Amino acid sequence: MTDISDLLQRQDYHTARHILSNLGTLGIEEVLTRCDKQYRGIAFRLLRKDLALEVFERLDPVYQQEILQELREPVVREILENMEADDRAKLFDEMPPEVAKGLLEGLSFKERRLTSLLLGYPENSVGRIMSPEFVDLKVTMTVKDAIARVRTSGREVEAIYSLPVINENGTIADVLDLGDLVLADPQQKIGELISDETYYARVDEDQEKASQLLLEIGYIALPVVDTDDSLVGVLTYDDAMYVLQERDTEDIIRSGASEPFWVPYLSASVLTLTKSRGVWLMVLAIAATLTVNVLNIFQNYLHSAIQLSLFIPLLIGIGGNIGSQSATIIIRAMALDEVRFSDLFTVFLKEIRVGFFLGLSLALIALLPVGLIFNWDISVVLFLSLISISTLAAVAGSVLPMTAKKIGIDPAVVSAPIISTLVDASGLIIYFLIAKAVLN
């Protein structure tokens, strides 16, 4: 890994340019991503123009913005003019509105219209990320005509691998893969090549849902239609993959009790990182004060049986872990559409048994050593508590995220850390009630 920052700091532009000229787009992207923030724009300016345009489009919008700030006005305009409409919309989306507006006005009429179109759709809708330029075929065309059409109008279009086919009334009929078109007999009609199954997304539909559909049916691009069924764009597989990867990142980060911050980690400031974690932490800390209350209530009791307190972290730790296990497994199964709310009862029955067996195994292992090292009363209390807490945790960990999703809350919000914290307090109550019953 070449450290370009050092060279740029020494103002050795000649060597830096030489190094960059020997790298491919992916290599340059890596250098730009990993170099010091203050040298990113300078390094970009050293690139050959054709490479610069190509590399720019691959960069994260955060870096794109940083670089644009370092470039002169006409260069900025040229770069923006040459971006795909959907990539440009993504960049504008993350800019301060007044900056985006100024840049938008600098674009040619055609590109400005395409970008405004995309930005007009609701956030997180398919409309925002679709490619508004496409080559459409008619059912009545011959294969030969269709290929000619692709050849004349395909040069400016991002997505020519899945070609939408339009009925005579203007509605979408199906998608034809470019490969099938190339392989077909030139005299055949397009209508004979397509199937009677049509998959497409609505322009205001959720991005994640449409992307998961594209992945499942295996298209290279999914047609996007307006409310009157007319074609307005296509969702390409690479944008869909980007959406799904972001969904997974969001779920993973939330499962660790943070808000996703949408900036590469090394570029995120300490303040950004602290904020993305602080809110969650505060909520969890407030929920955790429940445990202080429970312990306070049982304080006298705790005083007379101090040994009980030794097992508190262990017990609630195990409860939290089992709850986390159930929550992460169920949230992932819902994201992949393997489990739906209608399966609630099936899941409940499964988790109650899984929780019970896990608790029982741990309880059986603990029974003897705790009895011998401490005493048999404590051992029995622990045995019963482990089984009850484990069962409760497994059920809460699965039922709560499913219910959250049903009532419209992102289930990842009710994920592992929240479940653990809730199980902590209820687990303590169970523990002391069992202790009271056994020890008295």
- Kindly give the residue spans of alpha helices, DSSP state H, lying in 120-236: 126-129, 143-153, 178-183, 190-193, 207-217
429, 432, 433, 434 alpha-carbon torsion, rounded to 10°: 120
- Per the CB < 8 A criterion, the answer to whether 34 and 43 are in contact is no
Closest CB 1 distance from its own copies, rounded Å: 7
Shortest distance, position 342 Cβ to its own copies, whole Å: 7
Pairing of strands 201-202, 231-236: unpaired
Q: Between 15 and 153, whose beta carbon lies closer to its own copies?
A: 153
Element (H, E) at 66: helix 61-68
Q: In the block, which residue shows the tokens 């980690």?
A: 265
Give the span between the Cα atoms of 330 and 345, in whole angstroms: 13
Question: In angstroms, what is the minimal distance from the CB of 120 to its own copies?
Answer: 27
Nearer to its own copies, 100 or 362 (CB): 362
Residue 388 CB, shortest distance to its own copies, in Å, is: 16
Q: Nearest distance from residue 438's CB to its own copies, in Å?
A: 19
The rounded distance, in Å, linking the Cα atoms of 225 and 234 is 8
Closest CA to 426 of 322, 316, 326, 306: 316
Question: Shortest distance, CB of residue 217 to its own copies, whole angstroms?
Answer: 6
The amino acid at 235: L
CB-wise, 113 or 303, nearer to its own copies?
A: 303
Asked whether the beta carbons of 19 and 49 are under 8 A apart, the reply is no
